[in-house]
Structure 1
Amino acid sequence: MSRINVPAVDTATGATAEVYAHIKKAAGSVPNTYAAIGALNPGALKVMLQADIVLAAGSLSKQDIETIRLAVSATTGCDYCEAAHSLLGKMAGLKPDALKQIRAGEPTGEARRDALVQFVRKLVSTRGTVSEADFAAITHAGYTDAQLVDISLAIAGITFTNVFNRINDTTLDFPAVH
């Protein structure tokens, strides 16, 4: 059970009800993490959703975005986001073996995806400026300067939900991964 008590989604009013309505229209239901964030700060949830719109219109594929979200979530240890983005990654076309390999930080056999996973995991787990070798590896894999901005945005967004879910111990409403 989540640590933070959140009112039922169907009792929301005002700005929270509005943002929930947009989520329900797009996804059919409001995931527990969005319900908690929206109940406490609907503006924060709106910013997250706007970032998702910007990413979707950006230069990365859905598979790349889900790869980033899954790699970050596995690196930070957010079981909620690992579960959510394993399902969303599957829906984006990532194969079950690739999802497992991304979570484990193991090679998938796709050089471009593997470079992305390594780059993202290094960004999340180290400090300081990215080395010339790491920069060269991601650009050699074919990622452009504009895509580096989108990679950064994807990392920022998922880091927010990772941190919140780790604080809240958000109850899973996605199939757990093992």
Structure 2
Amino acid sequence: MKILFDYGHGGSDPGANYRGRKEADDVLRLGQAVAKRLRGAGVVVHETRTKNETLGLGARVKRDKADKYDYFVSFHRNAHSPEKARGAEVFTYPTASAKAKDLAVQLQNALIRVGFKDRGVKVANYYVLRNTRSPAVLIEAGFIDNSDDNRLFDEKFEVMVEGLAGCFVDLKVACGKS
């Protein structure tokens, strides 16, 4: 299996931020931890960025189209209005393949098991979902502007990494239960 991980934002685009915490940093940390776990299980994981650097949406899609991947996974943290919204959600494109939809459900279930409120699997017309060739999903790992979600993100980080990684190690088994 070969996967392309995309860590949203970066460099001059920190993404959402709250009380000094930056989305670009959180998703890089999370995605790289999942990638490390997967590599240890023999999965090939490529990354759109490996440090805090600026990378446009076109470059992210170009990277996907430069090789053949089983999945394209974009990591994000959500934001709305401080302390007003919470929970995790995973997005697919409206015409996503069954493969992408199945992965989205597995990833969402892994995030819910960590303790995030279930905001569901949703569809969206996001650039990276619309323009990638690989089956694509976009993860929103809690709200960065919600203290409870940040506490879950930090305190259950290893559990979250194991659960998300489990979705790729064996997609026929529920995340985190392989």
Q: TM-score, normalization: structure 2?
A: 0.28
Structure 1 or 2: more strand by fraction: 2
Ranked by relative contact order (alpha carbons within 8 Å, sequence separation 6 or more), the top structure is: 1
Structure number with larger C-alpha Rg: 1
